[in-house]
Amino acid sequence: MKHKHLALTLGALIIGTLISLISCRKINEATTLGGGLIPIVDNIYTFDTTLDVETFNDTFTLATDPTLYGNSFTHFLGQINSDPFFGKTDAKLYLELKPPSYRYTFSNVSDSLHLDSVVLILDYAETYGDTTVAQTVNVYEIPHGSDFGDSIYPIRKSNYAKGALLGSRNFAPLILNDSIKAYKDTTANQLRIRLNDAFGQRLLNYDTTIIGGNEPAYISDSAFRSHFEGFALESVSGNAIMGFNLTGVNTKLAIYYKDDNGDSPVEKWDTTVAYFIFAQNGSAASANFIQRDYTGKPIELAAGGTENDEVVYIQNTPGSFAKIKIPGLANVSNRIVHRAELIMEQLYDVSDTTFPPTKLYLDAFDSSGSVFRAIPYDVSIDGSGAANLGSFGINPVNTKDPMGNNIKSWRFNITRYVQHVVNDTEPIYDLRLSAPLYLKEYYRLGPPGSTSVIATIFVNDAIGKGRVRLGGGGNHQTQQQRMRLRIVYSKI
List, for residues 284-301, the tens digit of each pLDDT value: 889 999 999 999 999 999
- Judged against a pLDDT cut of 80, whether residue 274 lies above it is answered with yes
Give the per-residue pLDDT at 33.
45
Give the per-residue pLDDT at 9.
41
Residue 112 — pLDDT band, cuts 50, 70, 90?
confident
Give the per-residue pLDDT at 180.
77
Which element (helix H / strand E) includes 95? Answer: strand 87-95
Clarify whether residues 349 and 464 are in a common domain: yes
CA-CA-CA-CA torsion sign (93, 98, 100, 106): positive
Mean pLDDT score of the chain: 87
Give the per-residue pLDDT at 26.
37
Q: Is residue 182 part of a domain?
A: yes
Clarify whether residues 278 and 321 are in a common domain: no
Give the per-residue pLDDT at 181.
74
pTM: 0.88
- Judged against a pLDDT cut of 70, whether residue 477 lies above it is answered with no
Across 262-271, average pLDDT: 65
Across 231-243, average pLDDT: 96
Domain that holds residue 46: 35-62+296-490
Clarify whether residues 399 and 460 are in a common domain: yes
Q: Is residue 23 part of a domain?
A: no
Across 170-174, average pLDDT: 97
Query: Environment class of residue 260 by beta-carbon count within 10 Å: exposed (0-12), middle (13-18) or buried (19+)?
Result: middle
Give the per-residue pLDDT at 383.
87
- Judged against a pLDDT cut of 50, whether residue 418 lies above it is answered with yes
Q: How many domains does the chain have?
A: 2
**Domain final residue pick, 284, 315, 341:** 284
Clarify whether residues 253 and 325 are in a common domain: no
253 CB-near residues (< 8 Å, 6+ apart): 97, 118, 119, 120, 121, 275, 276, 277
- Judged against a pLDDT cut of 60, whether residue 28 lies above it is answered with no
Across 402-407, average pLDDT: 95
88-104 pLDDT tens trace? 999 999 999 999 988 88
Give the per-residue pLDDT at 17.
38
Across 25-50, average pLDDT: 68
Task: Express as a percent the part of the chain with pLDDT over 70.
Answer: 87
Query: Environment class of residue 174 by beta-carbon count within 10 Å: exposed (0-12), middle (13-18) or buried (19+)?
Result: middle
352 CB-near residues (< 8 Å, 6+ apart): 346, 407, 468
Clarify whether residues 278 and 401 are in a common domain: no
Q: Is residue 220 part of a domain?
A: yes
Give the per-residue pLDDT at 261.
64
Q: Is residue 142 part of a domain?
A: yes
- Give the C-alpha separation, 243 to 464, whole Å: 9
Across 121-131, average pLDDT: 97
Q: Is residue 21 part of a domain?
A: no
Clarify whether residues 99 and 181 are in a common domain: yes
Clarify whether residues 322 and 189 are in a common domain: no
- Judged against a pLDDT cut of 90, whether residue 479 lies above it is answered with no
User: How many other C-beta atoms are found inside a 10 Å radius of the C-beta of residue 20?
Assistant: 11
Across 233-259, average pLDDT: 94
Q: Is residue 30 part of a domain?
A: no
Clarify whether residues 278 and 386 are in a common domain: no
Residue 282 — pLDDT band, cuts 50, 70, 90?
low
Clarify whether residues 352 and 334 are in a common domain: yes
- Judged against a pLDDT cut of 70, whether residue 109 lies above it is answered with no
- Give the C-alpha separation, 183 to 256, whole Å: 8
Number of DSSP helices (H) and strands (E) in the chain, helices first: 6, 29
Give the per-residue pLDDT at 442.
96
Across 455-481, average pLDDT: 90
374-392 pLDDT tens trace? 999 999 999 888 999 999 9
Give the per-residue pLDDT at 171.
97
Clarify whether residues 151 and 233 are in a common domain: yes
Clarify whether residues 280 and 316 are in a common domain: no
Clarify whether residues 364 and 395 are in a common domain: yes
* Alpha-carbon torsion, ordered 51, 54, 57, 62, to 10 deg: -90
Across 311-317, average pLDDT: 97
**Domain final residue pick, 255, 284, 313:** 284
